[in-house]
Amino acid sequence: ANITMHGTTLGSPLYMSPEQCRGEEPTGQSDVYSIGIMTYEVVSGIVPFIGETITEIMAAHCDPDTTHIPVSEVCPELKAAELFDRMLYKALNVHTAFRFQDMTEFQASLNHWIDTVRSGN
């Protein structure tokens, strides 16, 4: 059974992927985008894309010219911050061709960052 009516969108605009904001069917890469948003928020304390209205928030997710503030600027004390920024840049890419292809790729990148922090490099 369908949860939503045809032509409606399911999800919180703060965590929606660009394809969901455009009304497209979500994929595994949509999940990568959303977990990227949550990862950004857990580490920085803020969400990467904001707006006055739901429409502005959704537009920010879809606009390739709108970029989030790097976590290294929000949390300069974060260890291996540049590596973390690169991971999130890829997870939050508007274009699916440049995003992690699935959660396994994202997890590998996150684990690499964690290992780097633990090793002190």
Domain containing 24 — which CATH number? 1.10.510.10
CB 91 within 8 A of CB 36: yes
Q: Is residue 55 part of a domain?
A: yes
pLDDT at 10: 54
Mean pLDDT per 10-residue section of the chain, whose length is 121 residues: 45 89 92 97 93 89 88 95 97 96 98 96 68
Q: Of 95, 111, 93, which is closest to residue 37 (Cα–Cα)?
A: 93
pLDDT at 4: 41
How far apart are the C-alpha atoms of 38 and 84, rounded to whole Å? 13
Rg, Å, the chain Cα set: 15
CB 98 within 8 A of CB 90: yes
Q: Is residue 4 part of a domain?
A: no
Domain enclosing residue 82, as ranges: 18-119
Question: What is the crossing angle of helices 103-119 and 28-44, to 10°?
Answer: 30
Q: Which residue has the tokens 């600027």?
A: 73
Q: Of 22, 44, 32, which is closest to residue 108 (Cα–Cα)?
A: 32
